[in-house]
Amino acid sequence: MTDAGTPLVEVSREGRVLVVEMRRSAKRNAVDRALADELDAALTQLDEDDDLWAGVLAADGPVFSAGSDLGAGGDYYTERGGEYGIIRRPRTKPLIAAVDGPALGGGFEIVLACDLVVASDAAVFGLPEVARGLVPTCAGLFRAPRSLPLNLARELVLTGDPISASRAYAAGFVNVLAPVGEAKSAAVRLAKRICTNAPVAVRASLAVVNEMASADDAAGWEITGTAMRAIAGSADAAEGVRAFFEKRSPEWTGR
């Protein structure tokens, strides 16, 4: 909840589909403790309600998510879902990301944690951490190469530059391209299409696909930890974050 008591996540039902919408648009839907907890609760509802067969994760405002709220000090981990309430969550039901604006850093990693992606022409995807002296910490370093062609994933990681929704669609990452403002409705339609199938068969099939895809996650997390330790306490990491808050170009020293 916000200080005014307004929910940071709006949950609604479209038949068998649960629509989960982040509503912290004033902060570009950056995830702090409160937003992580509300996302966790909404996705737990999807997990545990037998009348729900699929979910859509959307966002209010012009930005899907800027990822971590740097003012949160890393306090956005939930017991069931891990980072942001979603990154490490074991799920049994299909979850579709509806992206109608930039999904950068942890915001892109939220999309990578979903099963399918619907994006509008306003969407861009990127991992800008290196531009701040940091590394992606929420599975982007191993889920991006899994979901995108290897050299495209390298480009995202090494340049920090985003790619357009149309390029992500051409690469096979985005399942459906939608007009601006219509990603959520297109994602709901795709979710309802899935729900015309036998739910037990859908869940069993998804479990096999996701288990095969995530078989190397333990190694991925371990290697990500190595990268995090490599930058921990570096002068460049401190300078990158400082420059971000001061809205200026960083001055790297390579130390």
Q: What is the DSSP string of 142-184?
A: HHHHHHS-HHHHHHHHHH---EEHHHHHHTT--SEEE-TT-HH
Distance of CA 125 to the CA centre of its chain: 10
Distances (CA, A) of 26 to 5, 22, 112: 15, 11, 23
Q: Pick from 110, 105, 141: which is nearest to 43 by CA?
A: 110
CA distance linking residue 224 with residue 141, whole number of Å: 7
The H or E element spanning position 77 is strand 77-78
Is 222 an annotated catalytic residue? no
Give yes or no for a contact between 86 and 39, defined as CB atoms under 8 angstroms apart: yes
SS (H, E, C) 185-243: HHHHHHHHHHHCCCHHHHHHHHHHHHHHHCCCHHHHHHHHHHHHHHHCCCHHHHHHHHH
- Angle made by CA atoms 67, 166, 137, in degrees to the nearest 5: 25
Q: Say which of 21, 38, 83, 129 is annotated catalytic.
A: 129
Using DSSP, state whether 114 is helix, strand or coil: coil
Q: Say which of 109, 211, 239, 246 is annotated catalytic.
A: 109
Is 129 an annotated catalytic residue? yes
Active site positions, annotated: 109, 129
